[in-house]
A and B are shown apart, each in its own frame.
Chain A
Amino acid sequence: MSLRAPDAAPRRLPAVASTAHDHHRILAGPALADGAEPHHAHIGRLGPLPRERPSDLIAQIEQSGLLGRGGAGFPVGRKWRAMAERRGHARPVVLANGAEGEPASAKDRTLMATRPHLVIDGAVLAAAAIGAHEIVFYVGREHDAAVRAMGQAMAERANAGHVPMRLVTAPIGYVAGEATAAVHYVNDLDARPTSTPPRMSERGVDGRPTLVQNVESLAHVALIARFGPAWYRSVGRNGAAGTALVTIGGPVARPGVYEIELGTRLRDVLPAAGGTTGPVSALALGGYFGSWVRSADAWDLRMDPLALRERSLSFGCGMVELLAGDECGVRATAGIMTFMARSSAGQCGPCVLGLGAIGDAVARIASDVAEPTDLERLEAWTGRLAGRGACRHPDGAAQLMSSALDVFGADFASHATRGRCDVPGVAEDAA
């Protein structure tokens, strides 16, 4: 390609073209089943960590167009530049977020368990770019293989001359991965979100400015720094650039974590997981803070944060969860919403009471024991939940619930008013 910027000439292209998946980037290399790639193998395959000037590195990340992969999809380069150009003398901290409390997502734990050195490379580069004096790897403690792999990888690099690194295992819980909750836990062993301000970028770990970055975002940085933004952008479909990890679940032949070219239409993503094994009525996209989409509307969707945003959907954490044609969307939503209500950190009234009421009402509706006003109240509570918490947990729950009322509207009405499920083929005793 002639698009390559002169100041971003790749040192050496990674040997992935010989595999069947030549768009694989962060999952290129040995089979995932082989576990963590050791440091010597990582260096042998990709070459040493480049030493860029911080401003050059940030410029490369900006040129790559990389968007954060934790859920919000914010441009990584812009975030780093804001940190690097901030005023004040306190040395910042990099917090690599691998909590992954989202039950239907497995991409971060898979990445850390198999390519821990990509994550560490990215964090070391982030620290250099913003002048950080410490890196904290925040890894969900239930992700055993990821915790072991990250700890082992840190030990392998103990004498590499990096800034000090420490591993902090995140407590189990959906909200523990929220940025302020992560910082709160690292500081005080309390994984509940805190009020903003202060922003983490101003006062986070140990009171220092803190860059909180998802581990997948850091892994991409490790490759962009080596091979350049033009290389990163040389894959991607339908106008999008780069790759992303997704977790595909539901009625597919091989549920699991896959690396896809961004912009790939959903119909072309599913073959990676062996294709569907039966009819699909709807998909939950982006995570439990994402949206339901009717399957007929979903197949042509481009898996790209920007394209999805235009449709008021979100790429989120890359979750693609399929609902089989003989499964009931109301019951599936009840499962998610009761989980979301239970996952509240219990600090903010609207999340405890409003989301709690939503969870209870949707559970009653799904079990065909709805009170007469349940559906009406469910709609009202859902409409006024967003924006009313210290963190975005209620916002995400409201979005998922609102999309469910839209996509499964007729099924909600059947359950709530007639006390029965009209989805063909649903087992009578499935509730």
Chain B
Amino acid sequence: MSEHRLRVDWIRCEGYGLCGDYAPELVELDEWRYPILGPDPVSVSRLHDAQRIVDCCPVRALRLERQDAGRARGPRALVGRLMSTRHG
């Protein structure tokens, strides 16, 4: 079972906000037009919209990640996430 999630490269994102304009049901915008993503994976019915906003981001800051739902919650994913936090 795999699931798809939108991810933002926050260093690249410049707040154009096209993602939120084109797919408000997937991406909320803050008052500076930077995206706010919900915690849930993208539903299958929204995958087409998600790919569209990924493709139209002018700075290529959005990506759609496909993960194996079982493995994503496993210990190796946790190791990677925590190892990348502050100070180690």
Query: Is A213 in contact with B88, judged by CB distance below 8 angstroms?
Result: yes
Q: Which residues of B contact A354 (CB under 8 A)?
A: 30, 32, 34
Q: Within 8 Å of chain B (Cβ to Cβ): is A194?
A: yes
Query: Is B10 in contact with A388, judged by CB distance below 8 angstroms?
Result: yes
Give Cα distance in the complex from A106 to B57, angstroms.
44
Point out residues on A near B: beta carbons under 8 Å: 68, 70-72, 74, 78-79, 82, 95, 97, 99, 177-180, 194-196, 199-201, 211-214, 217, 289, 317, 347-351, 353-354, 384, 388-393, 396
Q: Which residues of A contact B30 (CB under 8 A)?
A: 350, 354, 384
Against A, the Cβ 8 Å flags (1 = close, 0 = not) of B51-77 are 000000000000000000000000110
Give Cα distance in the complex from A99 to B87, angstroms.
8
Minimum Cβ distance to chain B for residue A95 (Å): 8
Tell me the dominant secondary structure on chain B's binding face: loop
Q: Which residues of B contact A350 (CB under 8 A)?
A: 10, 30, 32, 34
Q: Which residues of A contact B36 (CB under 8 A)?
A: 384, 388
Point out residues on B near A: beta carbons under 8 Å: 8-15, 30, 32, 34, 36, 75-76, 79-80, 82-88
User: Which of A79, A196, A348, A392 lies in contact with B86, CB distance below 8 A?
Assistant: A392
CB closest chain-B residue, reference A192: B11
Give Cα distance in the complex from A180 to B80, angstroms.
13
CB closest chain-A residue, reference B35: A388
Q: A78-B79, A350-B30 given as contacts; is B85 within 8 A of A71 (CB)?
A: yes
Query: Is A74 in contact with B13, judged by CB distance below 8 angstroms?
Result: no
Query: Is A180 in contact with B15, judged by CB distance below 8 angstroms?
Result: no
CB closest chain-A residue, reference B9: A195
Query: Is A388 in contact with B34, judged by CB distance below 8 angstroms?
Result: yes
Q: Which residues of A contact B8 (CB under 8 A)?
A: 388
CB closest chain-B residue, reference A102: B87
A to B CB contacts below 8 Å, 5 in the list = A70-B88, A71-B86, A196-B84, A212-B88, A349-B14
Q: Which residues of A contact B88 (CB under 8 A)?
A: 68, 70, 72, 95, 97, 179, 200, 211-214, 217
